[in-house]
Amino acid sequence: MAHGHGPGRCRCCGEEAAERGAAWGLYLRIDRQRLQCLNERREGSGATVFRPWEERGDRSQFVESDDDEELLFNIPFTGSVKLKGVIVMGEEDGTHPAEMRLFRNIPHMSFDDTAKEPEQTFNLSQDPLGELEYPTKIARFSNVYHLSMHFPKNFGAETTKIFYIGLKGEWTEAHRHEVTICNYEASANPADHKLEQITPQTHFIS
């Protein structure tokens, strides 16, 4: 239902925006120390596109491809993720990526590895405002600890530019398996091992 807006900020719209921003909070669960972006022109720029939803309009932060139009992100998470949706924001021109291919749980992917069949492929539309959400097949992305995003082509430019990537979903803490430490005796203590008298002639190891 439509509602009027006073001179101040609409409270319900503000709450709605806050809820939407929280939904796109998986960037907080990325292990940034191990995040990789292959073929980025400026080192470290790929990591800048994963930021708060409210800051997606910051045009000073972006990644641009280097040798050709391809980009490949390797995104490790700090736990297990159920990925539900993706936003990809670029320019309204030929530099905007035209296709996105998602792979799950293949750490350290290279461009050679992108010959594999992806879990899901999307044909992208130009989205300069970061408004288009691409829903994933949740059954295929319900236990993701590493996400790879391959952008193989754009809308005709020599290089690809991405300003923001939003990841929506749920995060759960990784289950760490307890390590069992076994202590072995370096040398047997005769007092702990009472041996019966053994007759050499009748007991032997073949």
Question: Does residue 104 carry a pLDDT above 80?
Answer: yes
CATH for the stretch 32-173: 2.60.120.470
pLDDT value at residue 206:
35
Range with the poorest average pLDDT among 16-20, 60-64, 105-109? 16-20
The widest CA-to-CA distance across the chain, in whole angstroms, is 105
pLDDT value at residue 17:
63
Task: Give the domain ranges of the chain.
Answer: 32-173
Bridge partners of 162, per DSSP, are 63
Provide, for the chain, the percentages of residues in helix, strand and coil under a 3-state DSSP scheme, each rounded to the nearest 5: 15, 30, 55
pLDDT value at residue 82:
97
CA 144 to chain centre: 8
Q: How far apart are CA 202 and CA 79, in angstroms?
A: 60
Per-residue pLDDT tens for 40-95? Answer: 999 999 999 999 999 999 999 999 999 999 999 999 999 999 999 999 999 999 99
pLDDT value at residue 123:
98
pLDDT value at residue 69:
98
Which candidate, 48, 144, 138, places its Cα nearest to that of 89? 48
Q: Provide the residue count of the chain.
A: 206
pLDDT value at residue 195:
43
Q: How far apart are CA 49 and CA 22, in angstroms?
A: 17
Per-residue pLDDT tens for 135-166? Answer: 999 999 999 999 999 999 999 999 999 999 99
Per-residue pLDDT tens for 175-204? Answer: 655 444 444 444 455 454 444 444 444 343
Q: CB–CB of 104/127 below 8 Å?
A: no
Return the structure tokens found at 20. 């939407």
pLDDT value at residue 22:
79
Q: For the residues 165-177, what does the mean pLDDT come to?
A: 86
